[in-house]
Amino acid sequence: MIGVMSYLVFFATTASILAIAVLGLNLQWGNTGLFNGGVVAFFGAGAYGTLILGGTSQEGHLGGFGVIYPLALLGGMAAAGLMAWIVGLLTLRLRHDYLAIATFGVAVAFENLMRNAEWLAGGAKGVRGFERPLRAALGDGFLYNILFFLVVLAILIATYLFLERLVASPFGRLLRAIREDEEAAQSLGKSPAKVRLTAFVTGSVILGLAGGLYGTFYAFVSPQDVLPTLTFQIWAMLIVGGAGNNRGAIFGAFLIWGAWTASGWALSRFAPIEAQLYTGSVQFVLIGSVIVGMLMWRPEGLLPERLVVSQRGSTPSNKQGE
């Protein structure tokens, strides 16, 4: 029983962390129409940033600053935001497909840098020497994992509420207008370049937050954690859940992560021995098919974006009352 519980907690923690990342991407793509093809770079910047800042001193690579955990996590988010700001200044003039290619390139460069610059982050061996916060007091057991899950869940809820308030505000309206037609928005006095950069950096900071939590959860990060696969998984979660809808983003994260985990389990259990080597590739094909199928038959996702309509007390019929 405790085994099942323990696994469920593990699953829910990972899915919640990914849900935070999907929310970050939703701000960029779902609300603003920014095609970030390098999601994993910002996620990775958060993970590496947090672990390098918060870890204990290590021979052979940067880090071991031993910064207290909340500050280390904030540092990871700042690293992701800073990277997004630089990348944004350079690439945000590009439209959809070009922006996607440019950001994808950034992600590949990031992975290669982490793999090869050993002095920076331990190279292929990854960042070692990070201790999960409060481990000494709580131990490594089930209790720790439950508490960690609750913290992640609280952060997920806080992120959701932050974004809900943001997209319901005039700022959200401005993001949608720029997504729909940048030139028309500019003709109405708006500054698309500035707004796009703000949305890109904010979304990336949230991606960095997810990455920081992910690194904390495993107390380790290596170039294997920042492969393009993760970008596609996060995109699949958003497309399936419903771009432009924060609940859809969270729903998609749990659904796709569930499907990914279940398909991995099923393949390892039922696939013939000689095919076991290829189960990973089969999973990639599956996730690719899900994205394509969704785009063909239900491009708005399972929980589509809701139209913002006139709200309470403002319908034309009671205008006279004002």
Partner 1 sequence: MSLSIRKGSITGLIGPNGAGKSTLFNLLTGALKPDSGSVRLKDQDVTNLSPNRLFKLGLGRTFQIPRPFARMSVLENVMLAPIAQIGETISGPFLFRSRMRDEEHHIRKKALEVLDFVTLTPLADHPAGKISGGQMKLLELARVLMGDPGLILLDEPAAGVNPVLTETLIEKIKELNRRGTTFVIIEHDMDFVMRHCDPVIALAVGKVVFQGTSEEALADPVLLDAYLGATADA
Binding site for partner 1 (CB under 8 A): 165-166, 168-171, 173-174, 176-177, 180-181, 183-191, 198, 202, 244, 305, 307-311, 314, 316, 319, 322
Residue closer to partner 1 by CB (options 85, 232) is 85
- Measured CA to CA, the distance from residue 224 to residue 37 in angstroms comes to 18
C-alpha atoms less than 13 angstroms from C-alpha of 20 in its C-beta half-sphere: 31
The least CB distance from residue 176 to partner 1, in Å, is: 5
Residue closer to partner 1 by CB (options 80, 107) is 80
The least CB distance from residue 27 to partner 1, in Å, is: 10
Residue at 280: amino acid letter: G
> In 3-state terms, what secondary structure has residue 127?
strand
The least CB distance from residue 93 to partner 1, in Å, is: 14
Residue closer to partner 1 by CB (options 189, 272) is 189
Q: How many CB atoms lie within 10 A of CB 57?
A: 9
Distances (CA, A) of 235 to 119, 192, 256, 281: 32, 24, 10, 18
The least CB distance from residue 184 to partner 1, in Å, is: 4
Residue closer to partner 1 by CB (options 277, 307) is 307
- Measured CA to CA, the distance from residue 118 to residue 289 in angstroms comes to 37
The least CB distance from residue 77 to partner 1, in Å, is: 15
83 contacts 204 by C-beta, under 8 angstroms: yes
- Measured CA to CA, the distance from residue 158 to residue 150 in angstroms comes to 12
Residue closer to partner 1 by CB (options 126, 244) is 244
216 contacts 132 by C-beta, under 8 angstroms: yes
The least CB distance from residue 193 to partner 1, in Å, is: 10
Residue closer to partner 1 by CB (options 131, 164) is 164
The least CB distance from residue 163 to partner 1, in Å, is: 11
Of 279, 250, 275, 240, the C-alpha closest to 263 is 279
Which residues, in sequence order, are CB contacts of 154 under 8 Å at separation 6+? none
C-alpha atoms less than 13 angstroms from C-alpha of 179 in its C-beta half-sphere: 21
The least CB distance from residue 231 to partner 1, in Å, is: 25
Our separate counts of H helices and E strands in the chain read: 13, 0
Residue closer to partner 1 by CB (options 135, 173) is 173
Residue closer to partner 1 by CB (options 276, 314) is 314
For residue 227 the two structure tokens come to 């492969």
User: Is the sign of the CA dihedral 175, 176, 182, 186 positive or negative?
Assistant: negative
- Measured CA to CA, the distance from residue 297 to residue 87 in angstroms comes to 33
